Chain A
C-alpha cells in the first residue's frame, strides 16, 4: 500500500537489493512472532484431535490417528449446541440493537451543527470507557425489579445499550467522511432530514455498519461478566460462561476435551473473521475514536 519509494526511481532496484538481507532477517523474526500468536491455537487444534494414548506422546507430536471423539463427547456433555445458539442469539441481536440505536445519533453528531454536541459526545465516550464492574450491582437490581434477571431478553437489552456508545463513535466516523455535496444535492431537491438519512446517508454508511456490527458481534461473543452475573440457568448461558466447566478436574485432566471445546467456541468467530478480516484489520474504524 504505502511502499516507501527511494528518492530517485533509478536507484530503486539497488536500494531494494541492499535491503533484502536485513529484510529477510526481519521477516524471520516476524515469522517467529507470528508463531507465538498462532502457535497456541495450532497446539490446541492438534490436541483436540488426539486420542488419550497419543496425548502421552507429548504436546508437539502429530496424532497417530485423527479422532473426532473429543468433539462429540464435549459437544454432548456441555450442550454446546445450546451454548452456541445462545451466544449467536446474544451477539447477533445485541449488536443489531446497538447499531440500530446508534444510527440516528451518529447521523445527528456527524451531519448537523448540533448545540451541545461536545456534551453528548463526551457522554458517549464515558460510556465506552466505563468499567463494567461499576454498574454491575445496580444493573443486577434493576433487572431483578423488571423481572429480566436470568432472561435472554434482559441480556440482549443490556448488550444492545452498552454497545451503543461505541457504535455511535464508529458510525459517526464513517458518516463524517461522506462528502457534503451529496447531501446538499438532496437538500436542494427538498429532501427532509429523514429522507436525507434514509436515502442518502444510510446507504452510504453500509461499510461502516458492517465494521461496527462485526466488532460489536465479536465483543458480545467474548463478553463474560454480564453473562456470569445476570444468568442462572444453564439453558441461558452463552459459550463463555458455559465453557467455564471445562476448567474442572473432570475435563482438565484429559486435554483433548477442553481443547475440542475451545475450538468449537471459536469456530463462528473464525468464520466471521475470514468473511470480513480485511475490514476489521485495516483499522479504518480507528479514526472514529480520534475525536
Chain B
C-alpha cells in the first residue's frame, strides 16, 4: 500500500511539474538541491565522519568504527558539557520563557500603562549580537568597577557579590541568565502574537466569572496558547543546545572547563585540537540530544500541541 501511495504521489508530482514548470524549477528543484548540497550533505557527512579519526589535513581518514562514541561515553568534558547544556535549558525555560509570557500577558490584557514601551525595551536585546551582550556584561559584572556589584553594595546587599565568571559554582548560571536576558524578547513576541488570537469573548467571559489574573493565565491563556508554547519551547531547546557565542567571549570554558557546553566543545576539539572525527561525534551528540528532547517533550507535556 505504502509503495502504491508513493507511486501515486510521484506520478501526481510529475503531472504537477509538467503543468507548472516555473514553480517546479524555482520553487522545488533549486531550493531542494541547494538545501541538500549545503545543509543535507554536511549533516550526512558529519555522521559519516564521526566513525573516523581525522586531523583535518591528512588525505586519508582512518576508520575507527565506534571508537569515538566509546570515548565519548567516558569523556568527562562531554559529561560536564552535556549537563551544562541541560542546566542552561532549564534556566532558559524558567527565566526568559516565563518572563516573556508574563510580559506579553500584561501587555495584551492591559495590566500596565505604556505597553509598547515595555515591548520595545524587552525586545531591544534580541537585536544585539551575543558577542556585544557578552562584552556588555563583562563590563557590568566586573568585580572592581562593575555597575552590578556597586549597585548591590549600595543597597546593602554586598554579601551577595560573587566572582560572577570566576566562581565555578555559579559561572555557568551567570552565562545562562545573561543569555536569558538577551532572549526574553522572543518568547514575549510569540506570546504577544498568540494572545492576540485568543477570542475576546473568552477573556470577557472569564472576567465576568470573576477570574483573577492567576486563573486567567492558567485557565484561559495558557490552554489557548499551547501551540505557541510548543514553538517557543522548541526554539528555546534548540537555542540552549547550540549555545556557543557567550561561552566563547566570556569564559572560554573556564574555570576548569566548568562552563563548557557541547557547542564550544565541538569547536575546541575540531579546530583547536584538530580531532575532527571526535568533533563530528560531539556534533552528532548535539543533534541526537536535540531530537530526543524535542521528541520527549512533544510526546508528553506538549502532546498534540502542534495540531491544535
Query: Which residues of A approach B to under 8 Å, CB–CB?
Result: 1-7, 22-24, 26-27, 29-31, 33-34, 36-38, 40-41, 43-44, 47, 55, 58-60, 101-102, 104-105, 107-109, 112, 114-116, 120, 123-124, 127, 129-139, 141-142, 157-158, 161-162, 164-165, 168, 192-194, 197, 218, 221-225, 228-229, 239-241, 243-244, 246-247, 252, 255, 258-259, 261-262, 265-266, 269-270, 272-273, 277, 280-284, 286-287, 289-291
Contacts and interface: CB of A to CB of B under 8 A. Distances in A.
B127 A136 contact: no
Interface in B114-146: 114, 116-125, 127-132, 134-140, 142, 145-146
B18 interface: no
Contact of A255 (B41, B145, B189): B145
A43 B140 contact: yes
Given A59-B146, A291-B306, A137 B43 contact: no
A229 B271 contact: yes
Contact of A4 (B109, B138, B266, B279): B109
Given A4-B204, A161-B38, A283-B189, A123 B32 contact: yes
Contacts of B34: 101, 161, 164
Given A38-B124, A60-B150, A165-B39, 8 more contacts: A33-B103, A58-B150, A104-B30, A124-B31, A131-B242, A133-B242, A240-B129, A287-B193
Contacts of A225: 244-245, 263, 267
Contacts of B227: 290
Nearest to A273: B127
Interface string B209-251: 0000000000000000001100100100010011011001110
Nearest to A28: B112
A139 B228 CA distance: 33
A2 B108 CA distance: 7
B308 to A, nearest CB: 10
A215 to B, nearest CB: 10
B168 to A, nearest CB: 20
Contacts of B136: 40-41, 44, 262
User: What is the interface residue range for chain B against chain A?
Assistant: 35 or more
A103 to B, nearest CB: 8
Given A105-B31, A289-B231, A27 B113 contact: yes
9 contacts: A23-B111, A23-B112, A37-B125, A104-B27, A133-B282, A138-B41, A139-B38, A165-B35, A240-B131
B280 interface: yes
B272 to A, nearest CB: 11
B192 interface: yes
Interface stretch (B68-76, B155-163, B284-292, B295-303): B284-292
B273 interface: no
A21 to B, nearest CB: 12
B193 A286 contact: yes
A259 B137 CA distance: 11
B53 interface: no
Does more than half of chain B's interface fall in helix, strand or loop, or is it mixed?
Answer: helix
B173 interface: no
B128 A133 contact: no
A29 to B, nearest CB: 8
A30 to B, nearest CB: 4
**In this complex, which of A2, A107, A134, A192 has the most chain B Cβ atoms within 10 angstroms of its Cβ?**
A134
Contacts of B13: 114-116
A76 B39 CA distance: 38
B176 interface: no
Given A40-B137, A194-B22, A136 B266 contact: yes
Contact of A286 (B134, B190, B290): B190
A131 B286 contact: yes
B238 A131 contact: yes
A88 to B, nearest CB: 14
A203 B164 CA distance: 52
A4 B203 contact: yes
A218 B192 contact: no
B122 A59 contact: no
Contact of B31 (A4, A168, A270, A281): A168
A55 B196 CA distance: 46
A33 B181 CA distance: 11
Contact of A37 (B16, B112, B124, B249): B124
B204 A243 contact: no
Contacts of A286: 189-190, 193-194, 228, 231
